[in-house]
Copies of this chain bind each other. A is one copy, B any other.
Amino acid sequence: MDDRDTRKRLLEGATELMTARSYQAVGVQAICDRAGVRKGSFYHFFSSKQALTLAAIDALWQWFRDRVLEPALAADRPPLERIERLFESIAEVQAARRSPEGGVAGCPFGNLALEMSTQDEAIRARLETVFAETEARLAATLAEARDTGALPGLDPAAAARALFAYIEGAVMLAKIHDDPTLIRELGRTARFALLGREGSPEAPAA
C-alpha cells in the first residue's frame, strides 16, 4: 500500500491525528490503524507513546522551520514585510489543513504545549526548545529591521518573544473561531503594533 517505511508512516500519521484531535484523544491503536500496522510494530520502533511524540515533535519542527519559517523570512524583501509574509504562510497552512470535521487545527506545538506541559516534563522541555529556536529566528529578522532603520532602538530578543506570543495567540483565535483568515488579519494589525502607528487599522468612518 504505502511503502514509506513503517517508522515514518507512524510518525506522520501520529502527527496528523494529534494535530486534528489532541494528544490524549489519539490512542496508540488509532495511530497503528492509520499506519496499517499492528501494535507490536509500534513498540518495535518506539518505546512508548511519549517517545514517538518526542520524535514527531522533532520531525515536525524540522519541516516547519525548513518549509514555512525560513521561506517566509527569506531575505528577498525588507524585514518587516517578511514578518507579514510569515502570518500569511501560517494562515495558508491552517486553511489547507482544515478538515470538514473539526475545522482549524491550530499550531501543533501550541496545542501540545497547553495540553501536556503540566503533565509530561519531557514533552514540555522539547517544546520549550522549539519555541526558543523559533524566537531566535524571529529575533534575527527583527535585529535586521532595527539595523536597517525600520525599528530603531528595538530590543530584538524582547520583541521576538512578544511577536511569538502574538503569533501563537493569533493561531489560537483562528482555531476557536474556526477561521484561518483571522491570522492574516491579525498579521496586518501586528504590522501596526510592531511598527507604531503606520499601517494602523483605520477607525470606521463614523
Interface residues of A (CB under 8 A from B): 20-22, 24-25, 102-106, 110-111, 113-119, 124, 127-128, 131, 146, 153-155, 158-159, 161-162, 164-170, 172-173, 175-178, 182, 185-186, 189-190, 192-194, 196-197, 200-204
- Is there an interface contact between B202 and A153, defined as CB atoms closer than 8 Å? yes
CA gap between A185 and B23 in the complex, in Å = 30
| Cross-interface CB contact of A202 among B113, B155, B172, cutoff 8 Å | B155
- Minimum CB–CB distance from A184 to chain B (whole Å) comes to 13
- Is there an interface contact between A119 and B153, defined as CB atoms closer than 8 Å? no
From A166, A182, A203, residue with most partner B Cβ within 10 Å: A166
- Is there an interface contact between B203 and A22, defined as CB atoms closer than 8 Å? no
Query: What residues of B have a CB within 8 angstroms of the CB of A194 in the complex?
Result: 193
- Is there an interface contact between A111 and B105, defined as CB atoms closer than 8 Å? no
- Is there an interface contact between A117 and B158, defined as CB atoms closer than 8 Å? no
- Is there an interface contact between B167 and A203, defined as CB atoms closer than 8 Å? no
Query: What residues of B have a CB within 8 angstroms of the CB of A197 in the complex?
Result: 153, 196
- Is there an interface contact between B114 and A172, defined as CB atoms closer than 8 Å? yes
CA gap between A24 and B159 in the complex, in Å = 35
Q: Give me 12 A-to-B residue pairs in the complex whose CB atoms sit less than 8 angstroms apart, sorted by A's number.
A: A21-B119, A102-B118, A113-B176, A115-B115, A153-B197, A155-B200, A155-B201, A162-B189, A164-B173, A165-B170, A196-B196, A196-B197
